[in-house]
Chain A
Amino acid sequence: MSGIILEVRDLVKHYPLRRTKLLESPGRVRALNGVSFAIARGESFGLVGESGCGKTTAGHTIIKLLEPTDGKIFFEGKDITTIKGERLKDLRRKIQIIFQDTAGSLNPRKTVKWILSEPLRAQGVRNRLEIERTIRESLELVDLDESFLDRYPHELSGGQKQRIGILGALILEPEFIIADEPVSALDVSIQAQILNLMKNLQKRLSLTYLFISHDLGVVHFFCDRIAVMYLGEIVEMAEATELYVNPCHPYTQSLLSAIPGENAASQRIILQGDAPDPTNPPQGCPFHPRCFKRMEICTHTRPRSVEVSKGHSVGCHLYP
């Protein structure tokens, strides 16, 4: 069961801006600037960062909703960066995504039953009885019963919608699931329910998760390994506990200090300013304008990623 299931190498995604002047080339939003990581089969890999750091872009690029500008994506050892047509359709059965906007990911004009049968129909299941049976059997996975089948999304609560969203992803029996902020729109009490449900499903169906979130607390609870993103780059990557106990990058330290309660003893680090404009990232280390441990070298030289201990890498000049 071990081995690498998904690997991303130097993934780059730039969005061109609209051309406003005829002779000047338009700027581009640098959403991903060379992101690399590998996820082992059966693990939960967390991708954390603030809004606009490119974590959702990363998820959407991996599931091929977006074309990467550069870099490679490997799934089960095969290059899937540019696949199309039937092979892409086959891949859809193995990689699925749970969307950030729970309510928006369900078609408001369709019943739950229709929404759940659509993936099966899209994958070529024609037999209506078979579709019906698959759906009825799978409802139990997310602790819902058949009474939900004839409801419309607006008749469901936030937690129920998310369960349907999760089931929509699971119904094709994928191996790898990208969970893009799966609980950020939910009440805290429901968050725990959904996270536990996802953990149980992982055990039962031997799933691998790429868990995307802005909430380091949630990610720490849920994931085995965590990568911290800032402005389209991974600044630190480590085992969840290691990252929690021994954060190296100043940005990770500030994120951890923001988790309420647990680190009450330590000083809360409040960053100055906003995240920089991704169309015009700063020179040198992308974090230096907000960094509280800024040095002279940070303003002109990009730090390289170094391994500080086994499986713990960080990109910061503090660790040469």
Chain B
Amino acid sequence: MKRKRVSLYIGISIIASLLAMMVVSLFYTPYPVTEMNRDERFAPPSANHPLGTDNFGRDVLSRIMKGSQTAFFVGLIAVSVGGLFGVLVGAIAGYFGGMLDEFIMRLMDAMMAFPGILFALMFVSIFGVGIRNTIIAIGIMSIPSFARITRSGFIQHKEFEYVKNARVKGVSNFRIMFSHILPNVLSPIIVAASMGFSSAVLSEAALSYLGLGVQPPDPSWGRMLNESQVFITLSPWYTIAPGIFITLIVLGFNFLGDGIADLQDRQQ
């Protein structure tokens, strides 16, 4: 019994510490994130610079902290966009069924079949490089997974008698969908949101690594990975630091999602 909660606790502690770091970075970083120092390039980790410095002598810890803002911001907005549209579309498909369902879900299949990074590349090259378009692209990419999960919940629940009961009372379809059914199918959607968060962070890192996401001099973990790889033999810690944090946040949200799913399984 107790063992199962481990992933929930690990997830919560990782995400909570990263969130705390993000909040601190809003007010304080050890050094200004864009301050360069020619005398201290490629400094190894020390008391002054716990994670060393980069090729411009900037403090890596400060940039990691600042980069967490990007990660959380991108994750939050992308998941909100994807979740909002995904749930809406999935609810309509599942509740009304028939040709509409068929049409929507084939559209979702087409979106899923299209490689995410390729779509983001295309989107960004059409609408321009930058954090805003990156977020939109990532958000759109995550719509199908939300739509599928929501749809399956709605298909199951629309046959339940409480839904028939609401119809018999004259409740409108819109209200049945979002006021009656949605609260009952919310839990798998929350798990999907947690998983979606981690993949959004990963996508942002990948796009920034390719130079399509966050633009310099703003720090982003993916971007730092990109900038550091040239110097990987010279100062490996510069590469390792953002790598570890990307891994941590992805792991954290996956653990969290798993933990929530376990919790629900046991409640049922």
Interface residues of A (CB under 8 A from B): 60, 63, 65, 88-89, 92-93, 96-97, 99-101, 104-110, 118-119, 121-123, 168, 172
Contacts and interface: CB of A to CB of B under 8 A. Distances in A.
Nearest to A63: B168
Instruction: Output the residue of A107, A109, A118, A172 with the most chain B CB within 10 A.
Output: A107
B172 interface: yes
List 9 A-B pairs, minimum CB-CB distance, nearest first: A92-B170, A119-B169, A105-B161, A104-B161, A122-B171, A109-B183, A107-B162, A89-B170, A122-B170
Contacts of B170: 88-89, 92-93, 119, 122-123
A227 B63 CA distance: 80
The prevalent SS among residues of B at the interface is helix
A122 B172 contact: yes
B233 interface: no
Nearest to A98: B165
A142 to B, nearest CB: 16
A105 B175 contact: no
Contacts of B183: 109-110
Contact of A105 (B164, B171, B172, B184): B164
B262 to A, nearest CB: 21
A63 B165 CA distance: 11
Interface in B229-251: none
Interface of B: 160-162, 164-172, 175, 180, 183-184
Contacts of B171: 118-119, 121-122
Nearest to B171: A122
Nearest to A109: B183
Given A109-B183, A122-B175, A104 B169 contact: no
B155 to A, nearest CB: 15
Nearest to B169: A119
B166 A118 contact: yes
Contacts of B162: 104-108
A92 B180 CA distance: 18
Instruction: Output the residue of B164, B165, B175, B184 with the most chain A CB within 10 A.
Output: B165
A100 B169 contact: no
A101 B161 contact: yes
B168 A96 contact: yes
A168 B165 contact: yes
Contacts of A172: 169
Contact of A99 (B161, B172, B175): B161
A101 B165 CA distance: 11
Given A107-B180, A109-B183, A122-B175, A99 B169 contact: no
Contacts of A97: 165, 168
A105 B168 CA distance: 11
A65 B167 contact: yes
15 contacts: A60-B164, A97-B168, A99-B165, A104-B162, A105-B164, A106-B162, A106-B165, A107-B184, A108-B184, A109-B183, A110-B183, A122-B166, A122-B169, A122-B172, A123-B169
A100 B161 contact: yes
Contacts of A63: 168
A105 B169 contact: no
A34 to B, nearest CB: 25
A16 B134 CA distance: 47
A92 B165 CA distance: 11
A119 B161 CA distance: 15
A315 B166 CA distance: 37
Given A122-B172, A122-B175, A104 B167 contact: no
Contacts of A92: 168-170
Instruction: Output the residue of B166, B170, B180, B183 with the most chain A CB within 10 A.
Output: B170
Given A96-B169, A109-B183, 7 more contacts: A65-B168, A88-B170, A105-B162, A107-B180, A119-B170, A122-B175, A123-B170
Contact of B164 (A89, A99, A121): A99
Contacts of A99: 161, 164-165
Contacts of B180: 107
A123 B172 CA distance: 10
A109 B184 contact: yes
Instruction: Output the residue of B164, B168, B172 with the most chain A CB within 10 A.
Output: B168
A104 B156 CA distance: 13
Contacts of B172: 122
Contacts of A106: 162, 165
A301 B175 CA distance: 50
Contacts of B164: 60, 65, 99, 105
Instruction: Output the residue of A92, A105, A108 with the most chain B CB within 10 A.
Output: A105
A118 B184 contact: no
Nearest to A107: B162
Contacts of A105: 161-162, 164-165
Contacts of A100: 161
A114 to B, nearest CB: 9
Nearest to A60: B164
A92 B166 CA distance: 11
Contacts of A168: 165, 169
